[in-house]
Amino acid sequence: MPTSPWYTLDTAEPQPRLALRGAWRMVHLAEIEQALRELHELPEALSVDAAELAEIDSAAALVLLRALPPQARWQGLAEVQARIIERVREHLQAASPPAAAPAPTVLAQLGRQTLALRALLLGHLNFFGATMVALGEALRRPKLLRLRELTVQVEQTGLNAVPVVALVTLLIGVVIAYLLGLQAEQYGANIFVVDGVAIGATREFAPIIVAVIVAGRSGASFTAQLGAMRLTEETDAIQTLGLSTMQVLVLPRVLALMLVLPLLVFVGDVMSILGAMAIADPMLGITPGAFLARLRESLDLRHVLVGLSKAPVFALVIAVIGARMGMTVGKDTRAVGAATTSTVVQGIVAVILLDAGFAILLQSLGW
């Protein structure tokens, strides 16, 4: 039967009993903790007898409750002692970590992701509708359109993007001509490299590549700018002044991107063809004159128009996604970074899906 100055433990069945005695106070806490360490594997049906307990404070009660099994039954507690024990027990239960949730099944994860995707698409659709309403209001009342902000966005999204678009599409033209030339010269069909580069670049490669660049550049910029304004409560200040954030912040960005993206795609068309022409002479023996002559024969205007017609649609989707993610971002810096990354991913995926839709539609129309 273990005993100490602070307790006596009787482990006899069927009613094991721990009898407390003395004054359990903080000044004796080190001694009490040392005595309680000698108790090992207390039975779950333990009965705690406090009839001889002179007094107990919250510090000693905390140490005692941590040593006892949760199902221990108390008896002989004075009213004050019972209140102290109960209060400490409540704090212990509140501080204890919650039970770990069971790992979700694959089906549960799929369901959560599906619901999250549904909510995201509905949010984008709702924001697209609000943007169209704002555009309709601006068309009825042109004074609502902020030309200065529109001009600034045209410069940032269009003019400043020309160098990177030109460089990337030039290199893409070189790569496409090089790869096509490796295959074509095996069959003596070098001249048909011009056809492949011209049609492929104007219809597909230039629009997609330029849209991806814009999604990573301007789409992310929209989210970061609007997210920072939301973080600093500038959007709330605009609404407090009685102005519409859609008219002041969103619509100029959407219109600017829809105006400049066709121009950037045209720059991409030209630079892709120039890149192919630069590699065609040393690699395939196609002189610039012969290249341009074949280009006039093979490149129909409809191919260029098809590529240019995709640009405003790509721009609208990228701008709506970027603006919506910025306007709905949480008010902390980490959320702004996560939203910016999400905008880039969503913009690129949306561009690829839209291009696939265009390909199916144009194929069915015979274009």
Residue that is written with structure tokens 């507690």 in the block: 77
pLDDT recorded at residue 100: 66
| 27, amino acid identity | V
Q: What is the pLDDT of residues 5-21, one digit of tens each?
A: 777 777 776 777 888 88
Look up the CATH superfamily of 3-95. Answer: STAS domain (3.30.750.24)
Structural tokens at position 316: 């609208």
Domain boundaries defined on the chain: 3-95, 120-365
pLDDT in tens, 53-67: 888 888 888 888 888
Average pLDDT, the chain: 86
Q: Is the pTM of this model over 0.75?
A: no
pLDDT at res. 349: 94
Nearest of 151, 163, 36 to residue 18 by alpha carbon: 36
For CA atoms 122, 204, 154, 344, give the dihedral sign: positive
All residue ranges of the chain with pLDDT < 50 are: none
Tens digits of per-residue pLDDT, 245-280? 888 889 999 999 999 999 999 999 999 999 999 998
Predicted local confidence at residue 17, as pLDDT: 80
Strands 47-56 and 17-24: parallel
Instruction: Provide CB contacts within 8 A for 76, sequence distance 6+.
Output: 49, 50, 51, 52, 53
CB 48, CB 85: distance < 8 Å: no
Quote the tokens at residue 218: 């301007």
pLDDT confidence of residue 313 = 94
DSSP string, 36-51: HTT--S--TT-EEEEE
